[in-house]
Amino acid sequence: MEDIAQSIMEQIRMDDGVGPHLLVATWKEHRSNTWSHIIVLPITKDGTLSYNVQTMRWTVYGEVDEYHLNPDHKWRPSEVCNFADSEDVAQFLMYSAKARHNPQVDDRPTLALTVGPLGTNLFNQQPMLCSSQAGVKGIIDLLPKMRATVTM
């Protein structure tokens, strides 16, 4: 019986780790080149999916390059928390958007979201603008299902 239980746990743990795709919510600070990011990483441990949340703040002039993603130079995100489900992550992101919302500039809180593997393309692509918690949750739900593109 113990052998079967051990075999099952080994099978469950085979998929453990951080997913290859992550979600980044980005805000540019007013009148500066400083950017704030909230990073959402799907992580599986012992067969259970959850979401690690990190924050990152940096100053970037122009496009993000490999220098910015090097942990010895710029890339040093801070751990914030872990959420058990995507609904809670979406709620956290919308609260963050509301906290940064300026009603004199626009009519509702909006998240600028990018999705993909960690790399320069993640930060240099045009973000999706999302203003509903349901829309944010839908994107988060897709993260663990995303795989690398297939090449021929």
In a domain, 72, yes or no: yes
- Domain membership of residue 2 (yes or no) is no
Total domains in the fold of the chain? 1
- 98 in a domain, yes or no? yes
pLDDT exceeding 70 applies to what percent of the chain? 88
The DSSP-derived string for 27-87 is EEPTTSSEEEEEEEEEEEETTEEEEEEEEEEEE-SSS--TTTT-TTTT--PEEEEEESSHH
Of the candidates 78, 44, 64, the residue with the CA atom closest to the CA atom of residue 125: 64
Supply φ then ψ for residue 91, to 5 degrees. Answer: -65, -45
Average pLDDT over residues 110-135: 91
Radius of gyration of the chain measured on its C-alpha atoms: 17
pLDDT of residue 2 exceeding 80, the answer is no
Report if residue 32 sits inside a domain.
Answer: yes
Distance CA 36, CA 23 (A): 14
Q: What is the pLDDT of residues 18-52, one digit of tens each?
A: 788 999 999 887 777 788 899 999 999 888 899 99
The pLDDT tens digits of the residues spanning 61-91 come to 778 888 888 777 778 899 999 999 999 999 9
Q: Is residue 10 situated within a structural domain?
A: no
- Whether 151 maps to a domain, the answer reads no
Q: Does some domain include residue 9?
A: no
Q: Among the listed ranges 4-13, 32-41, 55-64, 89-98, which one has the minimum average pLDDT value?
A: 4-13
The pLDDT value given to residue 132: 92
pLDDT value of residue 4:
61
pLDDT computed for residue 73 by the predictor: 74
- Per the structure, the complete domain to which residue 66 belongs is given by 15-145
Is 89 part of any domain? Answer: yes
